[in-house]
Structure formats: C-alpha cells, structure tokens
A and B are shown apart, each in its own frame.
Chain A
Amino acid sequence: GGGAEGEETITLRAATGLSAQHAWWEASMVPWMERVEELTDGQVEFETFTGGELVSVPDEGDALQTGTVDVALVLPIYQPDQFPMAEVTMLPLNHSDTIIASNAWKNLLESEEELADGQTYTEMQFGDFKVFPVSTTQEYSISTTGHEFNTVSDIEGTSLRTPSRIHEIYASKTGINSVTMPAVEIYDALSRGTFEGAFYSIADWTGYGFQDLFTYTLTGINFGHFNAFIGMSQSRWDELPENVQEAMEQANDEIFEAGAQEWIDRAETIIPDNEENGGKFVEFNELDQEVQDHFNTGIEDTWTDYANLLEDNGLPGNDLVKMWRDLLIEEGGEVPDAIMDLE
C-alpha cells in the first residue's frame, strides 16, 4: 500500500476467486483497473490475483475487511447470512436482459431512497464497503441434457443444480429436486446423467464446458440475474487521495455498459454453436399452458416467500421486492401480474 501524497505510487492488490476469463473480471474489473491507471497517469498500480490464487469465492468481502486485499470483486449472493437482501436480483421474472437488470442493479445500489431505519439499500447491506456497481450476469435459464418440459409432471421430480437460495425456494415451490455440488464436479455428473440440468446463464456455460452438454434450454422465462460489485473497505477507500477516488468513480461509469454488453456478446456466440451441436432453445410461451402456469405460479410464490423470509428476520422484505420490481419495470423488465399488484 502507499501513502496519500500526490506523487507517490499507490499499489493496490486486486483479487477475485473467479477465473481470469470470467466476464466480470475480463470485461469489467480489468478495464476498470486499466482506466484508473490511465486516469491517474500511473499514480495507481494494480497487482492482480485471480482464480483463487489469493482469495477464494466467496471470501472476497472478508479479505477486503481484513486488509488481505485492497480491491476485489464481491459476490454477496453467496453469503445470504451476511447480505440477505443481495439475493433480490435473483428473483425470477417473465422478461429482462443483462442491460435491464444491470441498470436496475446499479440504480438500486446508488438509490438515495430510504429503505428502512433512515438507511438506503446500500447503507443497510454494504455499509462497510465502498461499492462500484458492475453489471449483473445474463439472465439465468433452465438448461438440461435433454430432459424436456412438456407436461407438469416433467417438471416435478426433475433434478436441477441450484446456484442460490432463491432457486432453492423456487425449486421447492415447483416440485423440482434441487441438487448442489461443487462447480468442478458438475460436468462429470451431468455428462453421466447423475442429474438432469441446471439453472445457469448461457454466457457462463463456457467456463465449465457446459456448451457441449446442454441440449435443451428454456428461454423467455428468466430465473434472475447474479450480481456483483467491485468493492473496497470503507477505511481503505477513505485513505485514497481525492483525485484517485474521482478517477475510480469516473472509470467505473465508463466501463459499466461495455461490461454488461460482454454477457450478451458471449451468449450470442454460444447459442449458434450449441444449436449446431443439436442444442434446442425452446420459447416459454410455446409450452403447454398448464406448464406455463406451473412455472409462473412458482415465480409469484418465490417473490412472496422471499419477502416473507426477510420480514421474518426483521428486514424490509416487502418494500425491497417492490423497489426492485419498480426499478426493473422502469428499465423495461416484466413480472407476472400478481407481482405487479403487490402493494
């Protein structure tokens, strides 16, 4: 670390537990760091550690607070015990895309609106952090190694890998059997038929080679967006000279949109490749009406369940889900009618 003097070089240790090829690192964090170095004329330098070389997922937040690293990609959804309201972006929807969700997520983080006890969302959840919003992931889909959803009984009892607590709520509401296992084992287990599929974003498939495995993907229904932010500990942030702080803010505004676009670009190259290998993308509204209703009821139940879960723990769950709904709608997202009617 360096001092606060203008001319002294400040070396910041930057880390992620994700791989160096992950879209958040490659298309958001790296451009951000490069831009900060440019804007400060080399006053700030970054020493980078990826793939868990220094910090593993989801320990990045703790590593910032203990001072192991200065800046990191934080994935708060993995720690619902610490950040119970971060999962709100994982709520299932009828329609949105990476741009819609990313803007809504940015607006949520930057919102000045009081959520409870005189605090904004960010103050309540991430008060110890300096938060730079980055894009959400592309929307999550259900993909399987061939299992199709033609009747309601095709949904019930199907084993899918669930990546978050929200998906587990959704699975239990719809009768899906949720499977959890380490990411490195999924390929093996899927390819040998240990279970049938997963909730996953198409743009993320290549990280584990899933583009060769999934042959059936449901599109036009959306199982939420994983979120992240570039974080620093509040105290480390306060130590930085003002010009560096400004450069970091400016850099983040500049890279934000391209970071979101990367997810869309990645998905757009994966989809035709997958189709060439026999992969099928099925539109949700072409499914049997009963199947659609079953999925939609699950969406509605998940929103209310999540809100109740937060309320039971003394958190403003009802206000939060309404706030998230409104932010999404404002950006062009769609939710089932029952959720529009929430008041």
Chain B
Amino acid sequence: MEAVWKVYRLFHYLKLIGIWISGAAVMVMMLLIVYDVVMRTVFSSSIRGGFEIIQNYMMPLVVFPGLAYVYSSGVLPKMDLLLDRFGPKVQKAIILLMIALELFVLALIVQFSWAFAMDGLSRGIAFPAAGTLYPLYPFFFLIPIAFGMIIIENVFILIRNLLEKKPSLLMEEPKQQVEDLL
C-alpha cells in the first residue's frame, strides 16, 4: 500500500495543477465580464466576441480541469444514511459494487467524449464570434481528460479497498468537513 500512496501523491499534484487552472479561469472570467460591462457602459463598445469566448473557452476551463480534485475532495453530495449501519464486510461489498458501476459509467463517457473530440478535430469544429471563426474542438479534449482522471481516482479507491481493511469511498477523508461546506 505504501507504494500506492506514493503514486497517489504524484497523481495529487496533477489534480492540483488542474484546480489552479480552473481557479485562474474563474478570475479571468470575472475580469473579462467586468471589463466588458465597463467598456459597454463608458465607451459603448463591448469586447468583440466576448460572449462566445467566455461561453466556449472560459466555462469549460473553469469546470473540467479541476473536476478530478473536486471528485476527490469529498464535496460531492450523496445520501449516506444506510451505509454506516452495515458491518464493514457488507459496507465493503457495497462500495466495491459502486466503484464498479462508477467505472462502467465513466468509461463510457470517456470513450464517447473522446470519439466526439476526435470527430471535432477531423471536422475542425469552430464557433463564430464577431465575424470570425475560433477553433472549438481543442476544448472537447478536456472532457475525456477530466473524466479519465476521475477513473484513475476510482482505480486508486478500488485498490485501497482491496488492500486495506477499512472500507472507504475516498482516498483521503476531507481534512475539515467545515472547510468543505464553506
């Protein structure tokens, strides 16, 4: 298990890079919209193509790079009423089944979103803004990457449950429940 944790640490850095990309994208998005509002109000001219660029570039950048970190942070809601009432053996069986189901669903999403991105690449999917075309397909690849990272997270969780006694749906318990809820 020690070796697994070591590899998991490395993977954690990858997730951190992701969340910082997302965080930076949030700031940039805020500034772009504020700038657009100011320009429109004061100089009655808006960023040409600003709306489309924010929608098609910034939103995917805000959501997808950080998604694996979000997944592993314990913030995603679930109903945990019954699980705790079972013994550890039953708990582990349920958790293994759930991980299997997650992996099945995630694998399908990765497969088809990858196919979608490759199709977009071959057709050169672009969006029109302010009279010109901006390439859109590179951003399609964010989806298989994001969900692929969640698959890796789930493989780690699967290994943890196979190697360790205590059943768990997360690799690491959130450090502070409060911080997460904030």
Chain A residues close to B by CB (< 8 Å): 80-82, 157, 159, 164-165, 168-169, 172, 177-181, 194-195
Interchain CB contact under 8 A, A81 and B44: no
Interchain CB contact under 8 A, A159 and B130: no
Which of B20-28, B89-97, B120-128, B167-175 forms part of the interface with chain A?
Answer: B120-128
Complex: how many Å from CA A177 to CA B125?
A: 26
Chain A contacts for B48, CB-based, 8 A: 178
Complex: how many Å from CA A127 to CA B125?
A: 17
| Interface membership of B133, Cβ < 8 A | yes
Interchain CB contact under 8 A, B128 and A80: yes
Which one of B46, B125, B128, B136 lies within 8 Å of A179 (CB-CB)?
B46
Chain A contacts for B128, CB-based, 8 A: 80-81, 164-165, 168
Interchain CB contact under 8 A, B51 and A181: yes
Complex: how many Å from CA A195 to CA B37?
A: 11
Complex: how many Å from CA A179 to CA B125?
A: 23
Chain B residues close to A by CB (< 8 Å): 40, 44-46, 48-49, 51-52, 123-131, 133, 136
Interchain CB contact under 8 A, A157 and B133: no
Can you list 16 A-B pairs, Cβ within 8 angstroms, ordered by A? A80-B128, A80-B133, A81-B123, A81-B125, A81-B133, A81-B136, A159-B40, A159-B44, A164-B128, A165-B128, A168-B130, A179-B46, A180-B51, A180-B52, A181-B51, A194-B40
Interchain CB contact under 8 A, B127 and A81: yes
Closest chain A residue to B39 by CB distance? A177
Closest chain A residue to B115 by CB distance? A66
Chain B contacts for A80, CB-based, 8 A: 128, 133
Complex: how many Å from CA A320 to CA B155?
A: 55
User: What distance in Å separates the Cβ of A65 from its nearest Cβ neighbour in chain B?
Assistant: 10
Closest chain B residue to A170 by CB distance? B131
Chain A contacts for B125, CB-based, 8 A: 81-82
Known contacts A159-B46, A177-B45, A181-B51; is A172 also within 8 Å of B124 by CB? no
Complex: how many Å from CA A150 to CA B150?
A: 60
Chain B contacts for A157, CB-based, 8 A: 44-45
User: What distance in Å separates the Cβ of B157 from its nearest Cβ neighbour in chain A?
Assistant: 33
Complex: how many Å from CA A157 to CA B128?
A: 21
The 6 closest A-B pairs by CB, nearest first: A81-B126, A168-B131, A180-B51, A165-B128, A80-B128, A169-B131
Complex: how many Å from CA A169 to CA B169?
A: 54
Interchain CB contact under 8 A, B45 and A180: no
User: What distance in Å separates the Cβ of A179 from its nearest Cβ neighbour in chain B?
Assistant: 6
Chain B contacts for A159, CB-based, 8 A: 40, 44, 46
User: What distance in Å separates the Cβ of B82 from its nearest Cβ neighbour in chain A?
Assistant: 34
Closest chain A residue to B36 by CB distance? A179
Chain A contacts for B131, CB-based, 8 A: 165, 168-169, 172
Chain A contacts for B51, CB-based, 8 A: 179-181
User: What distance in Å separates the Cβ of B148 from its nearest Cβ neighbour in chain A?
Assistant: 22
Interchain CB contact under 8 A, A177 and B44: yes
Complex: how many Å from CA A159 to CA B44?
A: 7
User: What distance in Å separates the Cβ of B43 from its nearest Cβ neighbour in chain A?
Assistant: 9
Interchain CB contact under 8 A, A177 and B46: yes
Chain B contacts for A181, CB-based, 8 A: 51
Chain B contacts for A164, CB-based, 8 A: 128
Complex: how many Å from CA A168 to CA B44?
A: 16
